[in-house]
A and B are shown apart, each in its own frame.
Chain A
């Protein structure tokens, strides 16, 4: 890929980003109001569920994991792209990540927090939840079962949230120091407090970079492990359609696909609202779409292999579930999933479509729809028909569950927009690194000379 042509220099970064941060376009406030409306709707629905009980949901025997668990898995998946972009692409030295990594990290935090709400919502009686926490468990001699994938999941998600938070905040520290240096009075005090008194000495940067690299190296296996553990919530059971070894890589690829699509979906409007077109360039957005194309092909392959193995295994229950997924009562959702996740993203083989922001935006929103239905499909279509035909049933989400789902999108968007308003939405210190270096006229000449000879310059 060719290097993007920069019209800005590193001197434009701080003023360009910080002035726009304080002064968004009116569309920002409209989006903010819509997200608040979503939160209110979701909150009301949850309130109704708390007041009237779980009967208001569509959950009934044999399906006790419905839309709320679907949302949990979906939001954990969305939370994947942040640390993927921050950590894995950092280790691969993919320069384009520096323009979108901050927003992706923020997205991760808010998505995981949103996901964390769903076990609470799903559990029903939230006011009794403390019985599940130490020390009540310990004092009642109820210890945790470390062989349960659900327990692993608690450890995995909490570790992921903690490490993502640290990674995100560590990246923010030098940028908050930049804001501190541009403000006065009370604001300077607040940002000075938040930036820990960062001075930007070469020594500090040296330790900072070392720590950042190590954290990236730790976060990389973590990213891959978290959604593997989430997939084990299903794969470790004996349920046909869940009990497959392909689940971990399949979930991870799906999570990256949905996460990248969500990054794109969030970055494009915010880039417009805060007038950041000069910093997040078309080339960077195109790289995002290339990664979506890659993970979409992996997901398509996983869908195909899942079907092949179900047939090839000779297990009649397994094969029956898969036949019903494609042609049974839930076939509509299945085909939404296939078209959104595997077929539409194939348009990205065409470069002009990858670079067309409007078209790419539509495709990426569709991918998110498709990924939501993937989770819905996996969870519901396996549960409706278990080994005992007498207990087979049907599941239809109630409007309460749909309201809570809409609310979760509002909640997520609300926090994301708040973040963009008060914190630098682009990592300023890292953006400076991928821009042309501030060299003197002689230095620039020497650089051109050495690059003509193909030498590494200092």
Chain B
């Protein structure tokens, strides 16, 4: 029983990525390579790596708006609702009487602060959640292809091809400084 559960929680690692990693030194070469790959479709699937968030790469990759903003909106509005509901529902049990009126008649201005703070809190938590989900992190099974990619190099990884394939040659032509073979061990 326990063994089965453990096996479910820790599935055996799948095949490690195998393919070639083209390492670029220059941002402009890297961007034009991405643009070339996008326009010609010569390489079916590939993954790009950058050391920091250069907007040039975002433009070259043709990314639009990130869906993270929907998480922010939905969670933020939930927070507004929660903040006001918190004050009002507690008011039913412990009335904050306004002008001698019966409980259930609210004086909202005082609750705006709570509603506002909860909007920000929930919106912020939602943004982080959205970012984590969209980035697919935390991921304990990450494979680091090359240590330089978080330092100062750019990379394009093409899975399931060899260093002598046409794809690798194309990447070299597009200005790659070197082509590394990533063996799936």
In the complex the two chains form, is B124's CB within 8 Å of A197's CB? no
In the complex formed, the residue of A with least CB distance to B157 is A201
In the bound complex, how far is the Cα of B141 from the Cα of A197, in angstroms? Answer: 7
Report yes or no: B48 in contact with A202, Cβ–Cβ below 8 A: yes
The answer to whether B152 touches A170, judged by C-beta atoms less than 8 angstroms apart, is no
Q: Give CA–CA (A324, B59) in the complex, Å.
A: 62
A182–B147 touching, CB < 8 Å:
yes
* Range of interface residues on B (Cβ < 8 Å): 35 or more
The reply to whether B147 and A214 form a contact with Cβ atoms under 8 Å apart is: no
Which of A42-50, A221-229, A301-309, A413-421 interfaces with chain B? A221-229
B61 and A207 contacting across the interface, CB-CB below 8 Å: no
Decide yes or no whether A391 CB sits under 8 A from chain B.
Answer: no
Given the known A-B contacts A155-B113, A225-B117, are A202 and B51 also in contact in the complex, defined by CB atoms under 8 Å?
Answer: no
Number of interface residues of A (CB under 8 A): 66
Residue B77 lies at the interface, judged by CB distance under 8 Å to chain A: no
Question: Would you list which residues of chain A between 184 and 207 have a CB under 8 Å from chain B?
Answer: 192, 196-207
**How far is it, in angstroms, between the C-alpha of A14 and the C-alpha of B56 when the chains are bound?**
22
Given contacts A197-B139, A208-B135, contact A429 B52 (CB under 8 A): yes
Q: Which residues of B are found within 8 Å of A214, using beta-carbon distances?
A: 68-69, 72, 123, 127
Contact of A315 with B by CB under 8 A = no
Contact B120 A200 (CB under 8 A): no
Query: What string of 1s and 0s marks CB contacts (under 8 Å) between B92-125 and chain A?
Result: 0110100000000001001101101110110111
Q: Is the CB of B175 within 8 A of A440?
A: yes
Give 17 A-B pairs besides A159-B117, A206-B58, A458-B56 with Cβ atoms closer than 8 angstroms.
A11-B152, A14-B151, A166-B125, A174-B52, A181-B148, A197-B140, A203-B61, A210-B65, A211-B68, A214-B68, A214-B127, A215-B128, A218-B124, A222-B117, A225-B120, A439-B26, A440-B28
Chain B residues in contact with chain A, CB under 8 A? Answer: 25-29, 31, 34, 47-54, 56-61, 63, 65-69, 72, 76, 86-87, 90-91, 93-94, 96, 107, 110-111, 113-114, 116-118, 120-121, 123-125, 127-128, 130-132, 134-142, 144, 147-152, 175
Residues in chain A within 8 A of chain B (CB atoms): 9-11, 13-14, 141-147, 151-152, 155-156, 159, 162-163, 166-167, 170, 173-174, 177-178, 180-182, 192, 196-211, 214-215, 218-219, 221-222, 225, 229, 429-430, 432-433, 437-440, 442-443, 446, 458
